[in-house]
Structure 1
Amino acid sequence: MTTKLEPKKAVIILSGGLDSTTCMGIAQEEGYELYPITFDYGQRHKIELDNARLVAEHYKVKNRHKVITLGFLKEFGGSALTDESIDVPDMTNVDEVEKAREDSEVPVTYVPGRNLLFLSIATSYAEVIGAEAIYIGVNALDYSGYPDCRPEFIHKVEEVMALATRVGVEGGPIRIKTPLSTWSKADIIRQGTLLNVPYQITTSCYNGQSEACGVCDSCRLRLKGFAEAGVRDPIAYRELPSS
C-alpha cells in the first residue's frame, strides 16, 4: 500500500506588491502549497490589500489567505507610510533619488519594527498549519535602506524562531526563504515573467491611489526594473518621472 505524502506548505508574506507576488510564483514553482498572509497596518497605500486579495485569488488560494490587522502601527506613526503628517518623498529625477539615498541611511518610509512583527506572526501561522518555510520578499540590492531587509536581520530572526517554537526545539525549525535577496529589480521581474507572475494586479506605489504616482521611490525602483528587464510594466501611472 502506497502512503500518500502530505504536501509541503509555505507561508508567504503577501503585500500585493511586485516582490511578494514574485515570491508566490517562486514558492509555487518550488512545489509548496501556498498560505499567504497579508497585514493591514494602517498603511497609506491601503489599496495594496485589494491587490493581495486578487493575487491570492489568482493562485487559487483565496480560502487560505489570512488578512491580519495591526492598527497600532498607525497609532505609533513614525513613518510616511503610517503617518499622514509625514510626506512621501517625491523623487522626480534620478539625481534626487541618489542624493536622498546618500543623505539618509533609513528613509522616512521605513515602518519601525514592521518586518519583525510580520515574521513573528507568520511564524505562529506556519507552526499551526505545519508549514516548513516562510517566504518574504526582502531585497539587499534594490532595497531603500530598510534595516529589516538585510540578510543579517533575517538570519538572526531565523535563529530566534528555532529557539522560540516547538518545532524548532524538536529539531524541525521553520526556515525563512528570501529568494529575491541578492537579485536586482530587473532580475526579479525577469524571473517573475518566466513564471507568469500576474504583475498587472500588483502595486508598488507608496501613495496608494488607483493609479501609481510614478515618482515615489518605490515607483521609481519598479519602473527602473521593468526598463532594465526589457519588459513593459502593465500597471497605470499618473505621471512618469524624467529620466
Structure 2
Amino acid sequence: MLKDEKAVVVFSGGQDSTTCLVWALKTFKEVATVTFDYGQRHRDEIECAKEIADELGVSFKVLDLQLISQLSANALTRDDIEIEAGKDGELPSTFVEGRNHLFLSFAAIYAKQIGARHVVTGVCETDFSGYPDCRDSFIKSLNVTLNLAMDHQFVIHTPLMWLDKKKTWQLADELGVLDFVRNKTLTCYEGVRGEGCGKCPACQLRKNGLDLYLEEKGEELS
C-alpha cells in the first residue's frame, strides 16, 4: 500500500509540481520535497517553492546544480536569450539540456538516503512543448536505469503525464487546491507569481487551460 510508503517530490513551486505535491500528500504516508538551484534567472522560484512547502508542512531541500547553467545556453538561465517558442520543429529557447535527467537522478539519490523509493515529478507528454525529457518513454527508461545504477527499486510517478492543462486544473480542483495553485504558484517565465505576465508561453498555456476548465464548469472567466 502506497499509504505506508515515503515519496520525494521534485518541486519547483509551479502549477504542475504543486499539484503533484498535493497528490503525493494524499497518496503516501510521508512526503519530502527537493528543489534545484540550476542558475535559473528568476531566483524567486526557489523562495516560492520554500513558502509552499512550509505552508503544506513538508520538508524542503535545495540541491546545487548550477553546473547546468555553465553547460547549457537557454532562456531560463541566460538573460540575453529571448524566450521563444520552437519554430520549424526546433525546441523552444526555454529547453534546458539534461535538466529532468539530472533532477530525477539527484532526486533518486536523495530519496534513497532518506529511505524513500518513490519519486514524483510533474512532467507531461501532452503539454510538453516538445521537450524530449518530458516524454513517458524517457521516464520509463530512466526508471530502469536508476534501479540498475543504485540497486534500488525506485518508482517514478508522473500523475500529469497524460493530462492537458485543462485536466491538470481539474485535478487541482478535485484535490481541493484550485485557488491555492492559481494564486500561490510560479509558472511564469518572467518570474511573476499567480496569473503571471500573461504573455510568455508558460503563462499562455496555463491561462488557456484554466479558461477551458472554468468554462466547462460554467464559472465566470477572469
Question: Do Structure 1 and Structure 2 share a fold, with TM-score over 0.5?
Answer: yes
Cα drift, residue 77 of structure 1: 3.6
What residue in structure 2 maps to residue 9 of structure 1?
A: 6
Matched ranges for 1:2-81 at <5 A: 7-61=4-58, 64-81=59-76
Q: Distance in 1 between matches of 2:176 and 2:193?
A: 23
Q: Give the secondary structure class of the aligned counterpart of 1:120.
A: helix
Cα 1:41/1:32, change in 2 over 3 Å: same
Quote how far apart the aligned CAs of 1:101 are.
Answer: 4.7
Query: Partner amino acid for 2:104?
Result: L
Q: Is there any run of 5+ residues in structure 2 with no aligned partner, and where?
A: 216-221
| TM-score of the aligned structures, taking structure 1 as reference length | 0.81
Say if 2:143 is the partner of 1:166. no
Question: Following TM superposition, by how much is the alpha carbon of 1:7 offset from its aligned partner in structure 2, in angstroms?
Answer: 4.1
Map of 1:192 onto structure 2: 172
Note the C-alpha offset of 1:21.
0.4
**Secondary structure at 1:57 match in 2:** helix
Partner of 2:132: 147
Could you tell me how far 1:188 is from its partner in structure 2? 0.8
Distance in structure 2 (CA, Å) of the matches to 1:84 and 1:228: 32
Match of 1:93 in 2: none
Q: How many residues get paired?
A: 210
Which residue in 2 is equivalent to 1:84? 79
TM-score norm. by structure 2 comes to 0.89
Report the counterpart of residue 114 of structure 1 in structure 2.
99
CA distance in 1, matches of 2:173, 2:47: 22
Whole-angstrom CA distance in 2 between matches of 1:210 and 1:84: 19
Q: Tell me if the contact between 2:184 and 2:193 (Cα under 8 Å) persists in the aligned partners.
A: no
Matched residues in 1 for 2:150 and 2:176: separation?
Answer: 35
**1:150-173 CA-partner distances (Å, limit 9, x unpaired):** 011101100101101132xxxxx1
CA RMSD of aligned residues (A): 1.8
Instruction: Name which structure has the greater RCO, CA cutoff 8 Å, separation 6+.
Output: 1
Deviations 1:80-109 (A, max 9, x none): 1012221113xxxxxxxxxx5562341110
| Matched position secondary structure for 1:34 | strand
Match of 1:180 among 125, 135, 160: 160
Rounded Cα–Cα distance in structure 2 between residues aligned with 1:125 and 1:83: 28
Aligned partners of 1:210, 1:59: CA distance in 2, in Å?
Answer: 18
SS of equivalent residue, structure 1 residue 35: strand
Of 210, 214, 222, the match for 1:226: 210
141 and 210 in structure 1: CA distance in 2 versus 1, 3 angstrom threshold = closer
Once residues 184 and 219 of structure 1 are traced to their aligned partners in structure 2, the CA distance between those partners, rounded to angstroms, is 14
Structure 1: stretches of 5+ with no match in the other structure: 1-5, 90-99, 168-172, 232-239
CA distance in 2, matches of 1:136, 1:112: 17
Q: Which amino acid aligns with 2:77?
A: T
Query: What residue number does 1:95 align with?
Result: none
